[in-house]
Amino acid sequence: MVEKQVILHNASGLHARPAAEFVKEASKFASDIRVLQGDAEWNAKSIMALLTGGISAGDEITIRAEGADEQQAIDTLIALLASFEEQDGAQ
């Protein structure tokens, strides 16, 4: 199992568009991937789960992956979250 904490810096948080991109990327991996915040935990491959989480800008979340491609999954998803911040900065 691999996990990494990250603070979400994009201005709009994990709303519909970024959540959909996140789920699309997470679904490419065989590993079980979860997003955690405090006591809450959501399936990273479920758009409905992530949207109900209400993850906002400035929130600290943990991405956890368990499986054969866990490290690649974590690295890819952390990079994706960082790209959301860059997209916000470009607007």
- Extents of the domains making up the chain: 2-90
Mean of per-residue pLDDT scores for the chain: 93
Q: Does domain 2-90 have CATH number 3.30.1340.10?
A: yes
Q: What is the DSSP string of 16-83?
A: HHHHHHHHHHHTTSSSEEEEEETTEEEETT-HHHHHHHT--TT-EEEEEEESTTHHHHHHHHHHHHHH
For 85, the enclosing helix (H) or strand (E) is helix 70-90
* Banded pLDDT at 85 (limits 50, 70, 90): confident
Instruction: Name the band, by pLDDT with cuts 50, 70 and 90, for residue 56.
Output: very high
Q: What is the pLDDT of residues 4-35, one digit of tens each?
A: 999 998 888 888 999 999 999 999 999 999 99
Active site residues: 15
pLDDT > 70? residue 87: no
Overall pTM > 0.75: yes
Centre a 10 Å sphere on the Cβ of residue 90 and count the other Cβ atoms it contains.
6
Tell me the β-bridge partners of 61.
6
